[in-house]
């Protein structure tokens, strides 16, 4: 019989798996917006970690939850600026394929 | 330190399965609009996971900000820039196998470390009224990060408008 209990370890493994999926998408996707989405997945994996630590290690201090709120704020700002950058690049280059973005090569 | 209630365990594994499967679909699907739809599913399941962690305010914020604002904003971005065949908008590039190797390494190392570490936890439950505690802390102990976050949002707002208007101003 499996030990049916959920502790910090299970949450950390779930968070590691989600982070891995996001990292794979960031490294292997062609579309710039897909990369932005996968960065969101990675940030959410970090949030799982923070909230799990908040519950199991420091329940009364709320450090983890407050940090997760700041992570969500930064992620929202990042998506806004990232999409604006992608739209600006698309107007110049008519492409969102990251392999086409090679202006900094010489 | 452990949650032993059968409903809590069932909820965790159900939500974990939904999160992992929908995140995989986000990465694997070839149409980017479908990817964003599964991203919304993933975010809502994450809100459920936050509920199992006694973070009800954070679950509400997750639904409002991520499943609401971020997903809609990304869909708007896609509709503004994609053209042609939507079925080929989210393809893999040439370094997929190298990326798989790197991710496998990261997964093995972090999975081993999180399983092998002996976590020192407490049995103290999270206080019930999380919103009151978070609100008090945000406006007393963490008031400077709170204001900096507000400034960051303002800067991001102005920056996004300037970046998106740039080309139109030139011609």
ipTM of the complex: 0.90
Q: Is A80 within 8 Å of B73 when comparing Cβ atoms?
A: yes
**Set of chain B residues whose Cβ sits within 8 Å of the Cβ of A10:** 12, 16
Domain match, B72 and B137 both: no
- Is position B106 within any domain? no
The percentage of residues in chain A with a pLDDT greater than 90, rounded to a whole number, is 58
**Per-residue pLDDT, A106:** 65
Q: At residue B169, does pLDDT exceed 60?
A: no
**Per-residue pLDDT, B167:** 56
The percentage of residues in chain B with a pLDDT greater than 90, rounded to a whole number, is 56
| Strand, helix or coil for residue A29 | strand
Mean pLDDT of A65-93: 91
**Per-residue pLDDT, A101:** 82
Using CB atoms, which residue from B8, B92, B124 is nearest to A29? Answer: B92
**Using CA atoms, how far apart are residues B49 and B58, in angstroms rounded to an integer?**
10
Q: How many domains does chain A have?
A: 1
Query: Residue B163 is part of which domain span?
Result: 128-171
Assign residue A93 a region (left: φ > 0; alpha: ψ between -120 and 50; beta: otherwise): alpha
Q: What is the DSSP letter of B90?
A: S
- Is B22 within 8 Å of B40 (Cβ atoms)? no
3-state secondary structure B17-84: HHHHHHHHHHHHCCCHHHHHHHHHHHHHHHHHHHHHCCCHHHHHHHHHHHHHHHHHHHHHHHHHHCCC
Query: Residue A74 is part of which domain span?
Result: 8-100
Q: What is the mean pLDDT of chain A?
A: 88
**Per-residue pLDDT, B41:** 95
Mean pLDDT of B118-133: 81
**Per-residue pLDDT, B168:** 53
**Set of chain B residues whose Cβ sits within 8 Å of the Cβ of A11:** 53
Tokens 């900096």 locate to B148
CATH number at residue A83: 1.10.287.3510
Using CB atoms, which residue from A5, A13, A47 is nearest to B4? Answer: A5
CATH number at residue B6: 1.20.120.1200
**Per-residue pLDDT, A1:** 41
Q: Which of B39, B73, B88 is the last residue of a domain?
A: B88
**Per-residue pLDDT, B18:** 96
Q: Is B167 within 8 Å of A77 when comparing Cβ atoms?
A: no
Q: How many domains does chain B have?
A: 2
Band the pLDDT of A99: cuts 50, 70, 90: confident
**Per-residue pLDDT, B94:** 83
- Is position A40 within any domain? yes
Q: What are phi and psi of B112, to 5 degrees?
A: -65, -45
pTM of the model: 0.90
Band the pLDDT of A98: cuts 50, 70, 90: confident
String of b and e for A28-62 (b: at least 16 CB within 10 Å)? bbbbbbbbbbbbbbbbbbbbbbbbbbbbbbebeeb
Q: Is A33 within 8 Å of B61 when comparing Cβ atoms?
A: no
Instruction: Record the tokens describing residue B110, joined without a space.
Output: 């972090």
Q: At residue B74, does pLDDT exceed 80?
A: yes
Using CB atoms, which residue from B106, B133, B163 is nearest to A88? Answer: B163
**Using CA atoms, how far apart are residues A47 and B53, in angstroms rounded to an integer?**
11
Closest residue on chain B to A80 (Cα):
B160
Closest residue on chain A to B124 (Cα):
A59
Q: Is B103 within 8 Å of A27 when comparing Cβ atoms?
A: yes
Tokens 């998408």 locate to A25
């Amino acid at each position: 019989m499996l030990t049916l209990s959920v502790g910090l370890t299970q949450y950390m493994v779930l968070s590691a798996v989600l982070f891995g999926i996001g990292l794979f998408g960031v490294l292997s996707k062609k579309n710039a917006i897909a990369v932005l989405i996968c960065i969101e997945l990675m940030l959410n994996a970090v949030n799982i970690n923070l909230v799990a630590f908040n519950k199991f290690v420091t329940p009364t201090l709320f450090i983890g939850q407050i940090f997760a709120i700041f992570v969500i704020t930064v992620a929202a700002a990042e998506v806004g600026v990232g999409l604006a950058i992608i739209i600006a690049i698309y107007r110049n280059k008519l492409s969102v394929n990251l392999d086409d973005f090679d202006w900094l090569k010489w | 330190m452990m949650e032993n209630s059968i409903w809590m365990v069932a909820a965790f594994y159900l939500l974990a399965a939904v999160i992992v499967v929908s995140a995989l679909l986000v990465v694997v699907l070839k149409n980017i609009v479908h990817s964003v739809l599964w991203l919304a599913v993933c975010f809502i399941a994450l809100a459920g996971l936050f509920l199992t962690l006694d973070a009800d305010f954070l679950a509400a914020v997750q639904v409002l900000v991520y499943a609401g604002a971020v997903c809609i904003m990304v869909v708007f971005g896609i509709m503004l820039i994609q053209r042609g065949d939507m079925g080929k908008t989210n393809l893999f590039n040439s370094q997929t196998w190298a990326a798989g190797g790197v991710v496998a390494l990261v997964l093995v190392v972090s999975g081993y470390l999180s399983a092998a570490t002996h976590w020192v936890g407490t049995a103290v439950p999270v206080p019930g009224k999380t919103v009151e505690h978070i609100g008090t802390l945000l406006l007393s102990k963490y008031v400077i990060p709170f204001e900096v976050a507000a400034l960051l949002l303002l800067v991001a707002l102005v920056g996004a408008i300037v970046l998106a208007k740039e080309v139109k101003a030139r011609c």
